[in-house]
Chains A and B, each alone.
Chain A
Amino acid sequence: MTTAVGTQLDQPLVIGGRTFHSRLMVGTGKYHDNETMVRAIEASGAEVVTVAVRRVDLDRRKAEGILHHLDPEQHFLLANTAGCYSAEEAVRYARLAREAGFNDFLKLEVIGDRETLLPDTAGLLEAARTLVADGFQVMAYTNDDLITALRLEDAGCVAVMPLASPIGSGLGLINPYGIRIIKKRVSVPVIVDAGVGTASDACVTMEQGVDGILMNTAIAEANDPVAMGSAMRLAVESGRLAYLAGRMPRREIAVPSSPTTGMLG
C-alpha cells in the first residue's frame, strides 16, 4: 500500500513459519446449508477455515463430512478441539485430526465451563505442552488474560487466540485493554477468536493491532451470511489499515477543522 505520506507496507501474516494471505479466519459450524457456507467463506476471503472432529454417523449417512463441500486444496483446514473439557481429551482429538493428513496446525480448545465455554487455562497449558512436544503447531484459544498468553507462548504455541467475548455470544470486544496488552507483550501472532458479532466489532478488534480474527457465528447466524462474510472481509481489512495508519488522538474539547483566521470583520 502506498499512501500520500509515504509507503506503509503491511507485513504478511506468518504463523508457525507459514504465510497466510488473509487476516480473517472463519469457522464452518452452524450454517443452515452447505452451499451458503461455501459462498459465505468465499465472500469472506478467508484462507483458514476451522473444522471439528466428530464421530461418523453410521446410520444417517446423509450427514456427510465437511470435505464433501470444502476443497482442501483451496482452504487451509484448521482442526479444533472444540467440546473437549480436559487436556487428555483435547490431545486425543488433536491426534485424530492430524491423522486426517492435512497439516500439523491445531486450534486447541480446552473448555472449563459449559455455560460460558470459557477456557480451562490449566488444562490448556498442559495440553499445549504435550502437543508442542508431539510436533503440533498449536494455536491456543484462551481468555483475555496476559499471564496465560505468556505461558502459552513459553509452552511453544505458534499463536495465541484470546477471546473478544464468549463463544457464540456476539458481544463484541469486551476488554480492549486486555487484548492490547497481550499483543504488546507476546511475540507470536495474536488472533482474536470468538465473540465478534458484527462488522464494527471486527473493525474495532483489528484496530487494537492484533494480527487477525477468527469468527464463526457472526457470519453463520447473520440473516444473509454471504453478505456478512463480505462485510467482515472489509471490516478486518479496514480495521487493519486504520491500525497501521495510526488514529488521531482523542480530545475532550473541540478543535476546529477550518481556519480560525480570515474571518469577516
Chain B
Amino acid sequence: MEDKTLMVQLNGEARAVAPGSVSDLLRSLEIDPRTVVVELNRAIVRRTALESTSIKEGDEIELVHFVGGG
C-alpha cells in the first residue's frame, strides 16, 4: 500500500486512514463487521456493500453498536 493517506472523520474524530474500502478500514481497526453498523456520510452502508464501498477524502464515517441501555 502506498503511503498516501486520506483524512476522514471517524466517530467524530479526524483520522488518517489508508485508501481502500470500508471493509479494509474495519480490518485495520480489528473490528468484526458483523458486530457493527456503518454509516457513511449519513447513509447506512449495508454489510453486503462494505467491500465495494470506497473511502474518500473528507468522508464522515460512524461505526456504531449496541450498548447497555434502558
Contact = CB atoms under 8 A, between A and B. Distances in A.
B10 A54 contact: no
A77 to B, nearest CB: 7
B68 A27 contact: yes
A55 B70 CA distance: 17
Contact of A27 (B11, B12, B42, B70): B70
A52 B11 contact: no
A212 to B, nearest CB: 15
A56 B66 contact: no
A74 to B, nearest CB: 15
Classify chain B's interface size: 20 to 34
Contact of A29 (B12, B47, B68): B68
B60 to A, nearest CB: 12
Given A56-B11, A61-B30, A99 B37 contact: yes
Classify chain A's interface size: 35 or more
A179 interface: no
A82 B12 CA distance: 19
Contacts of B4: none
B70 A167 contact: yes
A219 to B, nearest CB: 10
A217 B68 CA distance: 12
26 contacts: A27-B68, A27-B70, A28-B68, A29-B70, A31-B68, A50-B69, A51-B66, A51-B67, A52-B69, A52-B70, A54-B64, A55-B63, A58-B13, A58-B29, A58-B63, A63-B67, A65-B36, A67-B35, A79-B66, A80-B70, A82-B70, A95-B44, A96-B39, A97-B37, A97-B66, A100-B65
Interface of B: 10-13, 29-31, 35-37, 39, 42, 44, 46-47, 62-70
Interface of A: 27-31, 37, 50-56, 58, 61, 63, 65-67, 77, 79-80, 82, 92, 95-97, 99-101, 167-168, 194, 214-217
